Amino acid sequence: MSPRIPVWIANSVFVSFLVISLFYSLVHFENNYLKSETATLNEEKNRSFAIVQELSRVKNQFPIAYQCHYSFGLSNGSLYEITERIPYSIYKRLRLGDTIEVYKREIGIFGKQTAISRIKGNEEPLPLLENLEKYFQYGFIYLLVLVGLTIIFRVWGLLSRTYPSQQKLNETDEIVVNKSQD
């Protein structure tokens, strides 16, 4: 009698669970790091200037949302571009090519050097890794349920193989008794 779930399926569920757990923990810690860096972004030492490259309205969004695309220089001399969501009060003041005051900080995310910034006076939330974190969290929960079901069915399958039902025991005893009488 074979177990209820083949070994290769159970092993692939366990490996998938470990991989998703690793990715979820990595994204979770990076998102916490980003939140802590964003909380201290509006300090005077992070103040800088940027040039507005593009202003636009986000389509198919209610309430109406606006965004500003601007660029600024990094410490290594390269130009960095950021698109930020802004309220209408800031949108109506800006024009293309304007110099705006921003708070910026250079950080490393997933081992890559990058920057985060915010226009002075903007209270819109910055786009962090929350959607990616939720995606991996749902995958983690889904695979946790699968691991639990796999363990239950594997144990149930092994127990049914190790401890056969009483009816099968009676049938086996009758066969053994009949063979010994012959």
Which pLDDT score is estimated for 101?
Answer: 92
Block residue for tokens 């063979």: 179
Which pLDDT score is estimated for 1?
Answer: 43
Q: Regarding predicted confidence, which is higher, 140 or 165?
A: 140
Half-sphere exposure at residue 150, Cβ-oriented, CA atoms within 13 angstroms: 18
Question: Which token pair is 113?
Answer: 């050097």
**Other CB atoms within 10 Å distance of the CB of residue 32:** 13
Q: How far is Cα 5 from Cα 119, in angstroms, rounded to an integer?
A: 56
> CA angle, 23 as apex, 112 and 139 as ends, to 5°?
140
| β pairing state of 99-109 and 112-119 | antiparallel
Give per-residue pLDDT as tens, 70-129: 999 888 888 889 888 888 888 899 999 999 999 998 888 777 888 888 998 888 877 777
Q: How far is Cα 143 from Cα 18, in angstroms, rounded to an integer?
A: 9
Question: Which token pair is 123?
Answer: 């209270």
Listed residue (73, 116, 65, 72) closest to 90, CA to CA: 65
Listed residue (34, 126, 129) closest to 83, CA to CA: 126
pLDDT of residue 28 exceeding 80: yes
Instruction: Find the radius of gyration of the CA atoms of the chain.
Output: 30
Name residues whose C-beta falls within 8 Å of residue 133's C-beta, 6 or more positions apart in sequence.
24, 27, 28, 31
- 8 Å CB contact between 90 and 118: no
